[in-house]
Amino acid sequence: MSDVSIYKSPYYPEIARDHYTIGRSHVLVRPLGRPYDQKPYRYQDNPFGAEYFFTFRFLGQINTINFKMHPSWEEANVVVRIWGACINHHTLKIKGKWHLLYETSHSKDPSKNYKESSHLITAIRIEFNKNLLMYPWIINTLLAGHEFLALSDFPLVLPLEGKVLYEGVQTFTGIVVPEKEPEKKWNEKNFTETLPTEIMYNIFGCLDLRSLSRCAQVNERWNSIASDLHFYQEVDLKVYWDKINRNNLEKLKNKLQIVRKLDMSWSNDATLIRNNEYDDSITSILEGAKDTLTHLCLNHTRLLSEKTMQQIFECPNLNELRLRSISSIFEGFSISCNKLMELKILDISSSSLEILQIIEILENIPNLEHLVMDDCDWLEFDFDSIITTVVKYNPKLKSWTSSCTFDLKNNSRAYKEFGKLIDLEYLDVTGCEPEPYGSSWLHCLAMNCKKLKRLELGCWNHLTDEDLMPVLTQCKELSHLYLPYTPKITFTTLSMACKNLPNLRHICIFSCEKITKEMVEVLAELYKHVNFYQTK
């Protein structure tokens, strides 16, 4: 059993290896960046940028006092937090609570990041920052994601993403118990009482939510300052997923009356089973802040009802909406006309929305600029209907990504519709090669989309140098070209891209069999402003 906030590795990678395994692994980490990536809602609460997590269950119990992580992960601060818990194998309910085992910090001594504890656990949860992972290494690691992982001779229940920890979490051996620092006695006068209120407001504005809550308990003056609603205009509750429950949400609700940015990802993930108790609280918070809310993130939220979804679409000033990996089944909801006029970013990757619901949403977002639909392969995804709807109702679209959406009922004729999106700057259709294959749409794209800056065509087995020529000669703004696992691409494409594209800065050619390391070294010497990404 596993639980992930991102796309799962395959159980049977031998099936369609090029598309399934490679396509999904590339989604995890990209050196090229994405224009629609979420910016921190509240940096103080998540300074190391924990974005994704893996959860694994083991067949046996492990004592956390023997926990030790690989030094390479410690130094790079890749792993932000590690949790452990004991889970019932039959009911999947947690016995007790999640225990924090490791939390990265700015300390130069990584051993101080480990929490002194001794618990018997059967599950481990790793939260990490994907932007700090070493790209070639993590790709190769994920490609072997189907293999079993054994920690202290306890294998995982299923062959999941365990291989990602093969070198990252090397072993559960050796005792790491950080020394306690001597307590410092503070007998000096509390000078904060003499500080002007304006300065106190500036100081409190730099605190995270946990510190604000503690400050509110010091005295009446601090409580009054810490309760100011302006401190809660940008709130990131994702890092407090283990503490979020109905009671805490009810207490927090009054402070979120004028919230602008709200991240409640993982908010009901304290257990590994569905939990119904948060729905009313979430809906109530959204209802109270609907006039001020501009950014909302509910990624990997296990249960959202139709009532909650309806309330989301009642927020007239919503600019960014992220519903990645929501697992609820919505029988129906309606969107009032002109309710989503301000929405510019929509992320529905791996969501359980049906095709007709997606179309209804798109029809009511006239100013949409970024559409993210990665890993929707389990949907009966009608590509023709989606792209036709986008062209008609979302003419301002700047970025489209549908990587790893393998079951697209797509064809090369439908791809020509991309040429009608004249403001398109970023197109990612990795692993979405049309069947039957056709390349005429690339000519249409190059002729009409002059603003194109990023093009990702990974895992296209039939893509040739000739197919790409229109793009390489017409799209002069292109700065990122992503072509991993395209076996027919040769040195011709590489040299033409460097020669004809003055703004080219990044080109990815992982596992392009016809391009050797020596060829890349020659171009790297001639075009030093271009970063080449190639399998080592």
Strand order of the sheet with strand 345-347? 234-236, 261-263, 295-297, 320-322, 345-347, 370-372, 399-401, 426-428, 454-456, 480-482, 506-508, 531-533
3-state DSSP assignment of residue 262: strand
Q: What is the pLDDT of residue 414?
A: 81
- Band (pLDDT 50/70/90 cuts) for residue 143 is very low
- Is residue 312's pLDDT more than 50? yes
- Is residue 217's pLDDT more than 70? yes
Identify whether the C-beta of residue 125 lies closer than 8 Å to the C-beta of residue 53: yes
Q: What is the pLDDT of residue 138?
A: 40
Q: Which position has the token pair 């000669």? A: 473
10 Å CB burial of residue 173 (0-12, 13-18, 19+) is: exposed
Identify whether the C-beta of residue 272 lies closer than 8 Å to the C-beta of residue 90: no
- Is residue 452's pLDDT more than 70? yes
Question: In this structure, is residue 319 part of a structural domain?
Answer: no
**Rounded-to-5 percentages of helix, strand, coil across the chain:** 30, 15, 50
Helix (H) or strand (E) holding 432, with range, is none
Q: What is the pLDDT of residue 472?
A: 94
Q: Tokens in use for 470?
A: 């229109």
Identify whether the C-beta of residue 391 lies closer than 8 Å to the C-beta of residue 417: yes
- Band (pLDDT 50/70/90 cuts) for residue 332 is low
Question: In this structure, is residue 335 part of a structural domain?
Answer: no
pLDDT, tens digit, for every residue of 260-279? 999 988 876 554 445 566 67
Identify whether the C-beta of residue 296 lies closer than 8 Å to the C-beta of residue 320: yes
For range 291-304, the mean pLDDT: 85
- Is residue 454's pLDDT more than 80? yes
Secondary structure E strands in 287-423: 295-297, 320-322, 345-347, 370-372, 399-401
- Band (pLDDT 50/70/90 cuts) for residue 142 is very low
pLDDT, tens digit, for every residue of 473-496? 999 999 999 998 899 999 999 999
Strand bridging mode 2-4 / 52-63: antiparallel
Q: What is the pLDDT of residue 181?
A: 55
Helix (H) or strand (E) holding 383, with range, is helix 383-393
- Band (pLDDT 50/70/90 cuts) for residue 130 is low
Question: In this structure, is residue 249 part of a structural domain?
Answer: no
In this predicted structure, which of 164-178, 295-309, 410-424 has the lowest mean pLDDT?
164-178
Sign of CA dihedral 366, 450, 375, 138: negative
pLDDT, tens digit, for every residue of 149-193? 333 333 333 333 333 333 233 333 333 334 455 555 555 556 667
Q: Tokens in use for 475?
A: 């799209």
Q: Pick from 130, 165, 200: which residue ends a domain? A: 165
In this predicted structure, which of 96-100, 124-128, 341-345, 388-392 has the lowest mean pLDDT?
124-128
Q: Which position has the token pair 């400050």? A: 215
3-state DSSP assignment of residue 163: helix
In this predicted structure, which of 11-20, 206-215, 251-260, 374-383 has the lowest mean pLDDT?
11-20
From the CB of residue 2, how many other CB atoms can be counted at a distance below 10 Å? 18
pTM of the model: 0.78
Residues spanned by the domain of 133: 2-165
Whole-number Å distance between alpha carbons of 156 and 57:
6
Q: What is the CATH number of the domain that holds 519?
A: 3.80.10.10
Q: What is the pLDDT of residue 103?
A: 83
Identify whether the C-beta of residue 380 lies closer than 8 Å to the C-beta of residue 13: no
Question: In this structure, is residue 286 part of a structural domain?
Answer: no
Of all residues in the chain, what percent carry a pLDDT higher than 70?
A: 68
Whole-number Å distance between alpha carbons of 220 and 213:
13
Q: What is the pLDDT of residue 336?
A: 60
Strand bridging mode 120-128 / 94-103: unpaired
For range 57-77, the mean pLDDT: 66
Identify whether the C-beta of residue 139 lies closer than 8 Å to the C-beta of residue 25: yes
CB contact burial 60-97 (16+ within 10 A = b; e otherwise):
eebebbebbbbeebbeebbbbbbbbbbbeeeeeebeee
From the CB of residue 511, how many other CB atoms can be counted at a distance below 10 Å? 18
- Nearest residue to 16 via CA among 514, 428, 482, 407: 407
Q: How many domains does the chain have?
A: 2
Of all residues in the chain, what percent carry a pLDDT higher than 90?
A: 22
3-state DSSP assignment of residue 485: coil
Q: Pick from 143, 165, 187: which residue ends a domain? A: 165
- Band (pLDDT 50/70/90 cuts) for residue 131 is low
Mean pLDDT, the chain, as a whole number? 74
Sign of CA dihedral 391, 394, 398, 399: negative
Which residues, in sequence order, are CB contacts of 177 under 8 Å at separation 6+?
Answer: 65, 114, 116
Q: What is the pLDDT of residue 275?
A: 55
- Is residue 395's pLDDT more than 90? yes
Whole-number Å distance between alpha carbons of 414 and 80:
42
Partnered with residue 82 across adjacent β-strands are 102, 126
Question: In this structure, is residue 139 part of a structural domain?
Answer: yes
The 8-class DSSP code of residue 178 comes to: P
- Is residue 337's pLDDT more than 60? no
- Is residue 1's pLDDT more than 50? no
- Is residue 26's pLDDT more than 80? no
Q: Tokens in use for 20?
A: 């399934």
Q: Pick from 141, 165, 189: which residue ends a domain? A: 165
For range 47-51, the mean pLDDT: 71
Q: What is the pLDDT of residue 2?
A: 39
Question: In this structure, is residue 458 part of a structural domain?
Answer: yes
Question: In this structure, is residue 498 part of a structural domain?
Answer: yes
- Is residue 390's pLDDT more than 90? yes
Helix (H) or strand (E) holding 486, with range, is none
pLDDT, tens digit, for every residue of 229-242? 999 999 888 888 88
Question: In this structure, is residue 190 part of a structural domain?
Answer: no
Q: What is the pLDDT of residue 17?
A: 32
For range 503-527, the mean pLDDT: 89
Q: What is the pLDDT of residue 396?
A: 94
- Nearest residue to 294 via CA among 325, 333, 266, 263: 263
Q: Tokens in use for 486?
A: 């395209």
Which residues, in sequence order, are CB contacts of 58 under 8 Å at separation 6+?
Answer: 122, 123, 124, 151, 154, 155, 156, 157
